[in-house]
Amino acid sequence: MSVLHLAVSIFISSIMIIVIMLIRKIFKNQLSSKWKYNLWFLLLIALLLPYIPTQLLNFGDKFTWNGNQNSNPLPSVTTTENPRSWENGNWMHDFSTSVNRIDLTFLNHVLTIIWIAGMLVMIALSIHAWIKLRQIKKSIILLTNSEVLSLFEQCKQLLNVSRPLVLGESPLIKSPLTFGIFKTYIVLPSHAETWLSMDEIKYILLHELHHYKYKDIATNYLIVLFQILYWFNPLIWMAFREMRLDREIACDSAVLNTLDQYQHAAYGNTIIMFADKSYLPRHFSMVNQIASSKKQLKKRIERIAAFRSETKLLKLKSILIFIFLVGVVVSQIPIVSAMPYGDDRIDFDSNHTMYEDLSAFFSGYEGSFVLYDLQEEQYNIYNN
């Protein structure tokens, strides 16, 4: 990982987080819960940009920093030129540059070691969370209560979910959760049907099914992956905390849309019942949990109390704001595409490179010489 790569990664992620946070604050009344959550997916795309092969991001001169749009460019004045020579009509100048930079190779190695060490710690924490999840999976007992199973099928039909899902209970959890991409499990606390009403179980099932329907399980794995790669940026941690909160609020809103208005308060009370009862660490969680911290729970209840159905105008405003943020992401492509052309290295194509022995012209001098022929589009290199 080079210094340039690290700087670009921090720059892109930080800019996107700041822009998203500002948009959420400025347009909080013009964004629906669903679209406020969708904004964070653009952050995931921006986080992926520095790791995409740059040839896939090459769009020609329109998306490069150094693209020369002038068909008849003038040579630029360098520190080795005599400005008076321009007055004499002499435009043939020495554009050579003496390169004498500080060697950052050691710093690159140090940063790479620190970055990898941090990732190893993050991977260890993620594995720890995964082991806990495996323990829950082994402890699952399939539900056999016919009334609950019938209610589960009704909820699936209501949300048009046709794929078979596993509904079970576990003594290791105190709050319902959903996990599993290829085989999805919806898990309730043990004997939930004895201390929860059928309406409360319905609210829980609708909440967890909405997580499944919106592919939030796969999103969890992406979040964990980016937390591993960007562990050094505190803004990433803050952003993902807000993203999880927006996801739960969006899921709450989706459930409320399927319920009658007189059931909204009962749904909110069901959420409060599972406040802060998480078994898995949220920062490394690969599951969707109905439980929240008390601070996040307060915000969720406030949004439930103030819930209003999404109007067509609100949806249109949300889409326009989303499109604007897409433009912000696209505007960062030139930064990424220009990254390999920094001061770290230049890859010379063997088809456009000629190595010459010019030792007779550089007797007594140490270093390398590179000349680029614009007409032939070829590099001439001595002592590389």
pLDDT value at position 73? Answer: 46
Cα four-point dihedral sign 361, 365, 367, 371: negative
Continuous H helices in 196-293 = 198-213, 216-229, 234-258, 264-273
Ranges of each domain in the chain: 1-67+312-347, 125-310, 348-384
Q: How far apart are CA 96 and CA 102, in angstroms?
A: 19
Beta strands in the chain (DSSP E): 141-142, 166-170, 177-179, 185-189, 288-289, 353-355, 369-373, 378-382
Q: How far apart are CA 187 and CA 200, in angstroms?
A: 15
151-186 pLDDT tens trace: 999 999 999 999 999 999 999 888 888 999 889 999
Confidence of residue 276 (pLDDT cuts 50, 70, 90): low
Q: How far apart are CA 340 and CA 330, in angstroms?
A: 18
Q: What is the mean pLDDT of residues 37-48?
A: 89
pLDDT at 50 over 90: no
282-337 pLDDT tens trace: 555 677 766 667 778 888 888 888 888 888 888 898 889 889 888 887 777 766 65
pLDDT at 377 over 90: no
Q: Residues of the chain with pLDDT > 70: what percent?
A: 76
207-257 pLDDT tens trace: 999 999 999 999 999 999 999 989 988 999 999 999 999 999 999 999 999
Distances (CA, A) of 62 to 15, 65, 353: 22, 9, 26
Q: How far apart are CA 253 and CA 175, in angstroms?
A: 20
Least confident of 237-241, 341-345, 355-359: 341-345
Continuous H helices in 287-340 = 294-305, 312-330, 333-337
Mean per-residue pLDDT over the chain, rounded: 79
Tell me which residue of 247, 310, 340 sits closest to 8, measured CA to CA: 340
β-strand pairing of 185-189 with 166-170: parallel
Q: Look up residue 137 and give its two tokens.
A: 């999976």
Angle between helices 33-48 and 216-229 (to 10 degrees): 40
Tell me which residue of 307, 248, 314 sits closest to 275, measured CA to CA: 248
Q: How far apart are CA 137 and CA 379, in angstroms?
A: 60
pLDDT at 275 over 80: no
52-92 pLDDT tens trace: 766 555 555 444 444 444 444 444 444 444 545 445 555 44
Angle between helices 105-139 and 3-26 (to 10 degrees): 60
Report the run of H or E that residue 175 belongs to, with start and end.
Answer: none
Confidence of residue 3 (pLDDT cuts 50, 70, 90): low
Distances (CA, A) of 190 to 132, 141, 195, 196: 17, 9, 10, 11
Do 381 and 353 touch, CB atoms closer than 8 A? yes
Q: Which residue type does 257 have?
A: N
Q: Look up residue 340 and give its two tokens.
A: 């390999």
Between 41 and 289, residue with greater pLDDT: 41
123-141 pLDDT tens trace: 999 998 889 899 999 999 9
86-118 pLDDT tens trace: 455 554 455 555 555 555 667 778 888 888 999
Between 1 and 32, residue with greater pLDDT: 32
Cα four-point dihedral sign 281, 283, 285, 289: positive
pLDDT value at position 103? Answer: 57
Confidence of residue 341 (pLDDT cuts 50, 70, 90): very low
Q: Look up residue 16 and give its two tokens.
A: 């996107």
Confidence of residue 342 (pLDDT cuts 50, 70, 90): very low
pLDDT value at position 91? Answer: 47
For the entire predicted model, the pTM comes to 0.73
Between 147 and 331, residue with greater pLDDT: 147
Tell me which residue of 208, 185, 204 sits closest to 195, measured CA to CA: 204
Between 193 and 359, residue with greater pLDDT: 193
- Give φ, ψ of 178 to 5 degrees: -130, 135
pLDDT at 278 over 80: no
Q: Look up residue 80 and give its two tokens.
A: 């080795």
Q: What is the mean pLDDT of residues 353-366?
A: 76
